[in-house]
Structure 1
């Protein structure tokens, strides 16, 4: 069937070719989901799988981690796709057949699985599968809202209590963060109780007014910065007026930000008779966001010309104030060339004179924003260990742990972006057979640390590490995946090879004996069934209250 779809698409032209390849894409996605479900079935068929369903990192978690590595996606995205694949195979065989034929898209299939998740009766589920497959067999393109309403109408016919209701807006409250990597800016979307929103507004206004009247920022910019001050636990903003006699600028608030400065060991060993003058340009300091450290290279002997300092000051000042108008006449009256010329005159292309930074997690941070984050920050030196011998203990010293986290920036499992500040420091060759030194240490988030410990060994996940921090993973299917330190782009000096790790002897097969996987109080299937039962009961209560007379 699939080969026939590909052949038909290859032989078509124009719109027919487009339609053909669209069907091929959907059919290919159906087979992709089926392969994921096959991996889950294999995990459940293995010895002891029932016991592992009670593990904190259960069969589902281990399979989605493997899917994420193989398909180059996050384990969260893999989990969502696996859930759709399982539902198609076990609950909607007729819809799955349409999907395999390329007649419906993954977006429609996902909407069906989500909107019909509360249907539990086998007879109702069979009628629903037939109704949905009939409705979408020759469906016309619909908006997301109309697609969901079509599915809801069919669900209501077979099982009214299974509708996914959204009657209470209060239950939809939440906070979302949208970060554009490279800009240094994040967008925050929040739905709050009205009382909490008013309290937040008053608090932000109060923080925004703690600076002197000469601060160059607009009111909106100060309120945005006040949100950051609130997150850091500060009771005031740092004033940016630059005046020597400004009381608000004398003692900048402590922000909880940690700035990691990368410096060679010989710089620290050299002890001049007179202390060097602190660098005036932030180019020598690359900050990190609170708990999300940033690494940089400091070169105290580098002198900067006045032109470079002036340029850096101009870049820094450009963060604040009112944006000047780019156009001398309305945009509708200008040609494209005139508009582009005006924008070029407003912001001519120029190379930044301030070195960029990287947040823990690997996100790029422009130097000017990194400099702003350094106000009131704690400065910590990151020292490359060179050929230093291993430390004679299991837990690495703070200096060594800071280096490993600054070198890695993220969890070192393939595809994981969990910041290294939230990760464990893992011995690649397990202690006490492997040394506590940088070439044998890496950052692993708790989930992937458990995956290596309890899903590793023969036939499971295995890892090896090179002196430059490169880690090679061997997956359960025998495929190899390589991850390199997140600092290698901006701070390659952190990836200079260190002393190689040497095992003290053969590692016993039961080297992790006595360790116990944290256990769940209930399995995923039990949790899902409980959520469905709760929502159906809410629907039942809502339906009964609607049937009651108003008097």
Structure 2
């Protein structure tokens, strides 16, 4: 469709193209742009490397070690001037190009246009974060297989981090300590109009605790008619939690019938309740009695040690950190049938989904098991699905499953529950509210497969996308 040499002609082609061709045309153009940027980045690296080498070669060996930093600056400066890009971008390209020299499979996929520059950088930084990545012969294959899935870059980063923890738990703990030494900080800088910016790099458990406290305080004090943005509510909640004088979060709807109006007996010292996920509360009822104060964290753990532990509200963490947090955390123990070596991620080289599950949505059962004919799943069933599927199962979404709704893959029939899809783990999947609504629009039809992959088929074009149960 595009000629790439005549902007006017391409503009006309876009305006006249039938809708059936637009997706394919856009994909082809995106693929070409990725190929072009890959070549630009690697050419920029070679340009910078030549300048770097020339500067070192011009000096005697005794002085070479003294000028490596200026040689880096000269290389980055030359890339910036020759390509007309910022020093920061030039430095990023130079470093990525250098890292790709040691990752030949990822480099070839990048040149082929299979990866965007940002997605490639996620893989490179994961490989550089732990020495085991270069020592593990399958790491590039694992990374490329994960990158081929219809996931967001954030989900890919989380999956790669989980892989590295699984491959080398001790190395992951050392990397965490090294990152803390290099980056932990709180910086407060002046902004305009009587404001300042707070930029902080803090341990994951601290961030989870603070985010939950802020969310709990807002949920306790503010109704849905409050006119302020969520950002302003969070700032005021943070100020109250920090004890800033005169700062207290109250609802600003101004209505006498506001359900969040604080009673007169409420004091400034009253602390907000901590939000506790439903599945955690259910676990407590089934096990030991509830503690007097809600634990600050929730951990998902595997007692066999096969699966990497996860910090609810964050992602996978190394076992050493999990051991540190567990005495003060609510523990969700993975049931045996969900321990499937997920941390080993994939069988490298496998392509395509498994066979479809029972198309009736009855899970292969002749008679409905208890609860199958009730639309709302039990707390136990919901917990099982959430632990099996870690994120929203719609393509290119990374919403954590515990923040999602459960959707029946084969629609539940309220008029005749026997006829519709039943409420079973094999017929349920988490979906965030926006994607849940998209699914019900019917443009993409899901099919659950026997390995819990879901194949989404475009009802107009027949195109298929497969998501995985992570």
- TM-score, normalised with respect to structure 2: 0.34
Q: Relative contact order, CA 8 A, sep 6+: which one is greater?
A: 1
